[in-house]
Structure 1
């Protein structure tokens, strides 16, 4: 994936903030004090400790974890982590006192100057090198803590990114499966419509075949795209509604309107049609008062679909797989960018969907 300028700027800002963190609040009382790397061992330790941690974080994140940890070489990975810690510890001690053995846990205080006592003054009894509060143990503990934070943080970030990728791949597989179910579903119902016209020897059968070809062309060429121009999706809906009008004639009252500008807006293919198709499946009966209302309203970056139909008796035993799949696709593709309400009362079935298309 191509990295943008903002990506590098963000990481540079985080890195600088991390390096300056130990000096933000200093013991001198000032809010910020630049490190004195030449004379102050305390500053040297913190500066190079945090610098090495930052370098190791990216090395661990971009190389060790993907190449070794995710390759199931866990023993090798944690062995390398331990070896890097020893190196990390040596670096932190070296810049404070190059002569001292970093494995010597009993001598040398890293954060205080080891000057001889003034004349006439003697060290405390039984203490050849008095180390109040600070000492190698404190330094080692701090180095271990900072190092472990870096290791755990990089692991958590890498695992989180990997889980997101797995979830994304899973979602793509689910969407492919749902689309594979939806396409034959559309074809089956549309062919039923044309069959009804052919049985009646209706003169509009030829027009219906042309409309079907437009529907199938859309499904074959565009239905597998992630997104498509909203104008094409609405044109597909227009053809579908016209085909239903041709088939049903005057047996049902159909109110269909489109308001707003669809130019420059995008939507997932076939995300609206199932709600419209459902109204024609369950809201049409020549022997009953049948009325279907379909309204598409586009305002700024949002589209509102309103579909309403009277509930009538019908002989269809369809399981509603197209509608259910559409609801699942909405939850997968527009988790925070849609609002769907369905009013299923004894007389009407009303769908109100608002979805972001800008």
Structure 2
């Protein structure tokens, strides 16, 4: 009996070893699975954080590129060049000045916009040049009024932040058949910059998707550069499109 028991024990040792090896392998597999899962989760979490950082950087880069593309729309450049060409053909006295203004705007759009903020006075000069160039194509039916109150001083603003609103006014506020007026006012105080622009709203035949994209882009820039420090109101009263923007500085 003892012999059988000893024999049975001897025979069972491999089975115990096999079973022990099975459970060892099973536990090891589970542990490895958990370790791998945790490692994958940690790596995935780090990757997601890294991807979010890269995505944010990519968005910023894309926004900057979109910003540069959104400024000085091609139709504006082509129209301005055509107007300057007409001046050159007729040997108009304003030809050289118009070329200089366009050059200043291009320099501002491609160089100064490399900075997050520029002097408000530089933005005002850009607005002046833009209005002067737009007036090359306007007739006596359209009146443009641009006024400034307060003292720009050394106040700063995001470059070309106001141009999309101004361009929208010229795109929709000019008619060849009816009298029209575009009113632009900029006020600078110690703590605030206020921008006002109004124009009659005339239907246009051109594709408005680019103009809409520019307006949306301008609003995104405001949210990004002036979070909780700006107030933008866009409304239409009796056929008059009004933009009011207030920036806390």
Alignment partners' CA distance in 2, 1:167 and 1:354: 30
Gaps of 5+ in 1: 1-71, 79-157
Alignment partners' CA distance in 1, 2:194 and 2:200: 20
Gaps of 5+ in 2: 1-35
Please give the TM-score of this superposition, normalised by the length of structure 1.
0.51
Pair 1:258–1:168, CA change in 2 (3 A): farther
- Residue aligning to 2:79: 192
How far does the alpha carbon of each residue in 1:198-231 deviate from its partner, in whole angstroms, 9 at most, with x for none? 3475623433222111111111211222111111
Tell me the C-alpha RMSD between the 2 structures.
Answer: 3.1
Judging by fraction of residues, say which structure has more strand. Answer: 2
If asked which structure has higher relative contact order (CA below 8 Å, sep 6+), I would say 2
Pair 1:167–1:265, CA change in 2 (3 A): farther
Q: Contact conserved, 1:311 with 1:346, CA < 8 A, in 2?
A: no
1:1-358 correspondence to structure 2 within 5 Å: 75=39, 169=57, 171-183=59-71, 185-196=72-83, 198-199=85-86, 201=89, 203=92, 204-319=94-209, 320=211, 321-356=213-248, 358=249
Rg larger for: 1
Superposed displacement of residue 349, structure 1: 0.7
Superposed displacement of residue 182, structure 1: 1.2
Alignment partners' CA distance in 1, 2:143 and 2:204: 17
Q: Contact conserved, 1:260 with 1:299, CA < 8 A, in 2?
A: yes
Alignment partners' CA distance in 2, 1:334 and 1:170: 20
Q: Contact conserved, 1:265 with 1:301, CA < 8 A, in 2?
A: no
Pair 1:261–1:171, CA change in 2 (3 A): farther
**Structure 1 outlier segments of 4+, above 6 Å:** 161-164
Superposed displacement of residue 266, structure 1: 1.3
Q: Contact conserved, 1:181 with 1:322, CA < 8 A, in 2?
A: no
Secondary structure of 2:187 counterpart: strand
Alignment partners' CA distance in 1, 2:177 and 2:234: 26
Q: Contact conserved, 1:260 with 1:298, CA < 8 A, in 2?
A: yes
Alignment partners' CA distance in 2, 1:164 and 1:247: 47
How far does the alpha carbon of each residue in 1:262-300 deviate from its partner, in whole angstroms, 9 at most, with x for none? 222111111111101110111011211211000000111
Alignment partners' CA distance in 2, 1:226 and 1:173: 13
Q: Contact conserved, 1:194 with 1:205, CA < 8 A, in 2?
A: no
